[in-house]
Amino acid sequence: MALLLATLGAQPSVASPHLSNGVAQLSQAPRIWLVNDFLDKAEVSYLRGLADATQFGACENQRVLNKNRGKACAQLKISSSTPVLDRLAKLWHVDTSHIESLAAVRYSPGSSPSAAHVDRYSDGTPADMTIVVYLTDAAPEEAGHTNFPYAGAAPLSVAPKAGSLLAWMNVDEATGEENPMAEHSVGATPADAPHDRVILQFSITLRPQLKRSCPPL
């Protein structure tokens, strides 16, 4: 995942988006947000074309628990003025000026599901926050959803929709410790799916004094 550093304050709450900007909060514990149409069709098409032209390979720093068949990773080379970065900077109060590539993940048809987990850095500590931008759709009846079994009174399942953004806290906002309720999984991609599923994934570090040099998983 690309690592972004929050520019305001030292508490995780600084990453709260402006709800008036089309952001829907899906869960309070842990806090989970969904932004529909974060990217327009032209932007999605551009990034999909960039992904199609990029060589994907094994995902680095992947914990054995989370390895799954059919999953591949790549870094998409972009300019600092890419709309997705400009929008992230404004909506989430993060510094994107140092980002030169976007971390992309591709799930091929027939890829296996991921086990439930909390996103972590390679040193084993939890990433403060995760942001996923979907570049492909999955029909509601298909698998491949992002699932939060412990979010709220009932399990939460989010279907991939091209251009939408899903974000969630991995840590307790008062203590900065791992929040087990942030465990999530990714469903399998059906073998007869019409295309690969492609996402962009970012990690936000909300406490600058705890910024780590190691890359996230």
202 within domain boundaries:
yes
216 within domain boundaries:
no
Q: Which residues lie across from 33 on neighbouring strands?
A: 25, 167
217 within domain boundaries:
no
Structurally, how many domains does the chain consist of? Answer: 1
Q: What is the pLDDT of residues 144-190, one digit of tens each?
A: 899 999 997 778 999 999 999 999 999 987 888 999 999 999 998 88
Q: What is the pLDDT of residues 130-156, one digit of tens each?
A: 999 999 998 666 678 999 999 977 789
Q: Which range has the top average pLDDT, 11-15, 21-25, 97-101, 195-199?
A: 195-199
Q: Indicate the residue type of 17.
A: P
**What mean pLDDT, rounded, does the chain reach?**
80
Q: Which residues lie across from 120 on neighbouring strands?
A: 126
CATH number of the CATH domain containing 93: 2.60.120.620
75 within domain boundaries:
yes
216 has a pLDDT exceeding 70: no
CA 136 to chain centroid: 14
Q: What percent of the chain has pLDDT over 70?
A: 78
Helix residue spans in the chain (DSSP H): 41-52, 83-92
CA 58 to chain centroid: 18
Question: 56 is written with which tokens?
Answer: 């994907």
The predicted pLDDT at position 34 comes to: 95
Q: What is the pLDDT of residues 200-214, one digit of tens each?
A: 998 888 765 444 433
213 within domain boundaries:
no
212 within domain boundaries:
no
For 120-139, what is the mean pLDDT? 87
Domain that holds residue 40: 2-206
